Amino acid sequence: MIDTHAHILPGLDDGAETIEQTKRLLEKAIDEQLTGIIATPHAFHPNFQTNLAALNRQVELVTSYIAEEQLPITIYSGQECRLGEKLPEKLVNGEALTLAGSRYVLLELPSSGIPAYTVPIIQQLIMKNYVPIIAHAERNQGIIEKPERLKKLLVHGAMAQVTAGSVAGSFGKAIQRTAMSLIDANLIHVYGSDVHSLDKRPFLFNEGLDYLEKKNQHDMVDIFLENNERIIRDEHFHVLEPEDISKGKWWKIFT
C-alpha cells in the first residue's frame, strides 16, 4: 500500500522534527503494511518555506537509513503545494515537485475556503499536462458548507484526496460525515494519511480503511489503493463518475 500524503521528512515543516521521529514513523508505517510513502512537505505555505535542496538532502538521508536497515518500504519525493498564481510556472521550472515525479500535483487550498482563482489555476495546470489533486478536500470550510463546490473543481479536471484520519473520525464527526458524503458521491479518488507525528497526527491509515469496510465501501477501498499505486506508476486514475445531478441523486446525498 502507498501513502500519498505524509509529513515524514525531518525538520522541514510541521511534521517530523528529527530523524529519530522519522525512524519511528517508518516503523509505524511498516506496521500498517505500507510499502511506500510519498513525502509531501509543505511548499509555498505562508508558515513554511521548504527549500528544495534541503528536501532532497532529507530524502537521501531517509533513503540511506532505509537501505542500511533493509526496511521493506520506499520513500518518494513530493510536496504539498499551496495554491498560488505562479504554481504552474514553478512546476514547469522545477521549483516545485509533483508526487513521485508523476503528472500528479498535491494541491493545498486555504482551509477557510476556495479562492476565486482556483479554477483558472487548475485549468493552467491541466493545460501543462499536470493533474492537480485537492488535498484533504473534506477539511476545507468552503467544501464543508457546500460540497458541490468540490464537484465544480473536478469538472475542470482536478482530482480529490481524503485523509485517513478524517474517515476514522479523528477530526470530529462533522468532518467524518463530510468525508463519507464526498466518498459516497464518487468525488474522492485518492487516500492519504497526512501524518505529522505518532501522537498528535498519526497515520490512522488502516483505521480509515477499516471504517470504509464497515460502511460497505469495499469497492472504494480498492479504488483508492489502486489509484495510490497509479500515482507511483504515473498512470491514469480509475474514476467513477459522480451521481447524475439531473436525476437529483447527487444533491440528495448532501441534503
CATH number at residue 88: 3.20.20.140
Residue 127: exposed, middle, or buried by beta-carbon count in 10 A (0-12, 13-18, 19+)? exposed
| pTM, rounded to two decimals | 0.91
Count: domains in the chain = 1
pLDDT given at position 242: 54
Residue 241, pLDDT score: 64
The series of mean pLDDT values per 10 residues for the chain, 255 residues long, is 96 93 97 97 87 94 97 98 96 96 97 93 96 96 93 95 96 95 94 94 95 94 96 90 44 33
Range of 121's domain?
2-253
Nearest to 4 by CA among 107, 82, 91: 107
Q: What b/e string do you get for 10-35 counting C-beta neighbours within 10 Å, with b at 16 or more? A: bebbebbeeeebbbebbebbeebebe
